[in-house]
């Protein structure tokens, strides 16, 4: 049999030293993550073509889907109308099915 003549233990104190600028670094990291997440979202493209036709499609979309925000952008050589920022493909497809009733050429894309 073995017996220990003395027992040593640690105290419960835990001291964590953090750099003074840690909060600023964490805020910047969160900001960058939000931007990356935004870029990884699915969107629905309703139209691509001339400015005049884009205006017609945008007006029609706004009347048909007043609750949805559509954005008109220009990417050489076409104007494009897109709506939605979906975190998952499934969520985008559900919305796309509703939009395709009125705009059959709409499609889901991941920018």
Rounded Cα–Cα distance for residues 73 and 77 (Å): 11
Q: Is residue 25 part of a domain?
A: no
pLDDT of residue 110: 82
Q: Is residue 68 part of a domain?
A: yes
Q: Is residue 31 part of a domain?
A: no
Find the CATH number of the domain harbouring 77. Answer: 3.30.70.1070
Q: Is residue 70 part of a domain?
A: yes
One digit per residue, the tens of pLDDT, for the chain of length 111 reads 555 556 666 667 777 777 778 788 878 877 777 666 666 789 999 999 999 999 999 999 999 999 999 999 999 899 999 999 888 889 999 999 999 999 999 999 986
The whole domain housing 46 covers 41-109
- Determine contact, residues 44/85, Cβ cutoff 8 Å: no
Q: Is residue 2 part of a domain?
A: no
- Number of structural domains (the chain) is 1
Q: Is residue 69 part of a domain?
A: yes
What pTM does this model have?
0.64
H or E stretch covering 23: helix 22-39
pLDDT of residue 77: 92
Q: Is residue 48 part of a domain?
A: yes
């Amino acid at each position: 049999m073995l017996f220990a003549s003395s027992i040593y233990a640690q105290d419960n104190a835990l001291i964590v030293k953090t750099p003074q600028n840690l909060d600023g670094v964490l805020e910047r990291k969160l900001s960058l993550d939000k931007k990356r997440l935004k870029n990884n979202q699915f969107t629905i493209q309703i139209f691509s073509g001339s400015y005049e036709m884009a205006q017609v499609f945008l007006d029609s979309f706004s009347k048909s889907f007043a609750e949805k925000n559509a954005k008109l952008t220009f990417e050489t050589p076409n104007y494009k109308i897109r709506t939605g920022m979906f975190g998952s493909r499934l969520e985008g497809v559900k919305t796309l099915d509703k939009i395709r009733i009125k705009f059959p050429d709409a499609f889901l894309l991941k920018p």
